[in-house]
Amino acid sequence: MKKTLITEISKEYTFEAAHRLPHVPEGHKCSRVHGHSYRIEITLQGPLHPQLGWIVDFAEMNAAWQPLHAQLDHRLLNDVPGLENPTSELLAAWVFEQLQVPAGTRIARVRVAETCTSSCTVFPKED
């Protein structure tokens, strides 16, 4: 395989949660508590293992996601430390910061989808 290729792997996770957006104008629909079936796509970059031919086992991504799922699933997101204003943008940044990725990998991006048509993606700034 060409050594110049950049390889990414992704996993999509889901959780159910309620939220409200505390800083929207009065009367905005999102000022009321409501729920979403959130979908989170996590993408990692890293070198391929020479024998195994993968970056990391997808199972390692599952293990990294599990503690975050435990903090988010069937919660009011506003109650989660750091998510007092749980917009898609701030939730994506929170996942990016909280996720303990397997050694030798880095997060390429995190995508949060609140609905079928609305999503936000964060990725590291290049220096």
Ligand X SMILES: Nc1nc2c(c(=O)[nH]1)N=C([C@H](O)[C@H](O)COP(=O)(O)OP(=O)(O)OP(=O)(O)O)CN2
Q: Which residues are annotated as a binding site for Zn(2+)?
A: 19, 34, 36
- Binding of ligand X by 88 (CB under 6 A): yes
**How many Å apart are CA 79 and CA 5, to the nearest integer?**
42
| Interface region with ligand X, contact rule CB under 6 A, candidates 1-9, 70-78, 96-104, 112-120 | 112-120
Q: Is 60 a catalytic residue?
A: no
Q: Is 114 a catalytic residue?
A: yes
Q: What is the torsional sign of CA 88, 101, 41, 126?
A: positive
Q: 71: how many CB neighbours lie within 10 A of its CB?
A: 17
Q: Contact residues for ligand X (CB under 6 A)?
A: 30, 34, 87-89, 114-115, 117-118
